[in-house]
């Protein structure tokens, strides 16, 4: 890559040594995925992709998130899968959240949402996901159900982007019976990202800290071919980015994860990993210009 001193690249942030506005942590989980995945390779791939971008948000007054915010990278949690791995995740997230405004977890598959939200002390949950993640068992298809069983109030859960033909009627009924707020893809397009996120934050943030689960398979398969479960007709990249920035602009969102990207199965141009990296930057932008 060409280096230009007047065009500083994003990423390459130092390890945390004190209070931060935002901190990254890698969670390369993949062993309980319902479909074969190389998601354990994705945290490193996202970090590399960040170098393709600047940290500058354009607007009436341009802002460089890297100078506006204190940003750190805490590295990866080793072996985050299984019960022992989840406890390592909870412990490390708990340590980091105590000294930062926003924790950003780089998955890994969607199973990491469970321990990350718990470690962050979340009392509300917003998912950007095509799927309910209410399956039985312990997998990347069950984190929402597991959080509810461990005490998260389903009345404080909002699921945005739930897709037709990507879920069963049994899980749709389970979500309704639990009292989860569902906002479908059609709802997002009819109402717009800003209106949807205002509602989601009002519901999920009513009792305190919110965890944001960014499952990139909510996007159209042309946008996110590196997500095993993405389908044609999902969100466009700009829609996901708008939702992510809108969520991060609210200080009640204390933690977020970016999951379900398989860097080893991405398109040749790395578009899915690049979108995941842009989600990191949108989270930072939401904080910097709030």
Q: Where are the domains of the chain?
A: 20-288
DSSP H or E run through 104: strand 100-107
User: Angle at Cα 136 formed by Cα 133 and Cα 137, nearest 5°?
Assistant: 105
126, β-bridge pairs: 158, 212
Output the pLDDT for position 59: 82
Q: Are strands 56-57 and 63-64 parallel, antiparallel or unpaired?
A: antiparallel
Contacts of 141-144 with C-beta under 8 Å, sequence gap 24+, read 141/34, 141/110, 142/111, 142/114, 143/110, 143/111, 143/112, 143/113, 143/114, 143/117, 143/213, 144/113, 144/180
DSSP H or E run through 153: none
How many Cα atoms sit within 13 Å of 2 on the Cβ side? 3
pTM: 0.97
User: In the structure encoding, which two tokens stand for residue 261, read together?
Assistant: 């990207």
| Residues 252-286: tens digit of each pLDDT | 999 999 999 999 999 999 999 999 999 999 999 99
44 CB burial (10 A radius; 0-12, 13-18, 19+) = middle
| Residues 66-124: tens digit of each pLDDT | 999 999 999 999 999 999 999 999 999 999 999 999 999 999 999 999 999 999 999 99
Q: Enter the CATH code of domain 20-288.
A: 3.40.800.10
| Residues 43-61: tens digit of each pLDDT | 999 999 999 999 999 988 9
Give strand ranges (E) for 242-281.
Answer: 253-259
């Amino acid at each position: 890559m060409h280096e230009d001193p007047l065009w500083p690249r994003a990423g390459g942030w130092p390890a945390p040594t004190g209070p931060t506005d935002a901190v990254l942590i890698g969670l390369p989980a993949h062993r309980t995925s319902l479909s074969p995945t190389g998601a354990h390779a994705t945290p490193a791939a996202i970090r590399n992709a960040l170098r393709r971008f600047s940290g500058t948000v354009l607007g009436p007054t341009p802002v460089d998130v890297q100078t506006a915010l204190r940003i750190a990278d805490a590295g990866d949690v080793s072996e985050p899968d299984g019960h022992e791995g989840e406890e390592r995740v909870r412990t490390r997230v708990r340590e980091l959240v105590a000294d930062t405004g926003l924790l950003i977890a780089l998955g890994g598959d969607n199973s990491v949402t469970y321990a990350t939200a718990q470690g962050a002390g979340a009392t509300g949950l917003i998912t950007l996901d095509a799927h309910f993640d209410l399956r039985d068992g312990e997998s990347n298809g069950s984190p929402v159900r597991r959080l509810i069983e461990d005490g998260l109030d389903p009345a404080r859960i909002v699921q945005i982007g739930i897709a037709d033909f990507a879920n069963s009627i049994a899980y749709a009924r389970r979500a309704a019976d639990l009292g989860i707020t569902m906002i479908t893809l059609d709802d997002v397009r009819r109402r717009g990202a800003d209106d949807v996120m205002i509602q989601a934050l009002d519901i999920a943030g009513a009792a305190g800290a919110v965890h944001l689960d960014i499952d990139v398979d909510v996007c159209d398969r042309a946008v996110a071919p590196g997500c095993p479960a993405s389908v044609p007709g999902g969100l466009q990249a700009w829609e996901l980015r708008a939702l992510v920035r809108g969520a991060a602009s609210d200080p009640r969102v204390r933690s977020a994860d970016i999951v379900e990207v398989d860097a080893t199965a991405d398109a040749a141009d790395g578009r899915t990993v690049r979108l995941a990296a842009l989600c990191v930057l949108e989270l930072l932008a939401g904080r910097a210009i709030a």
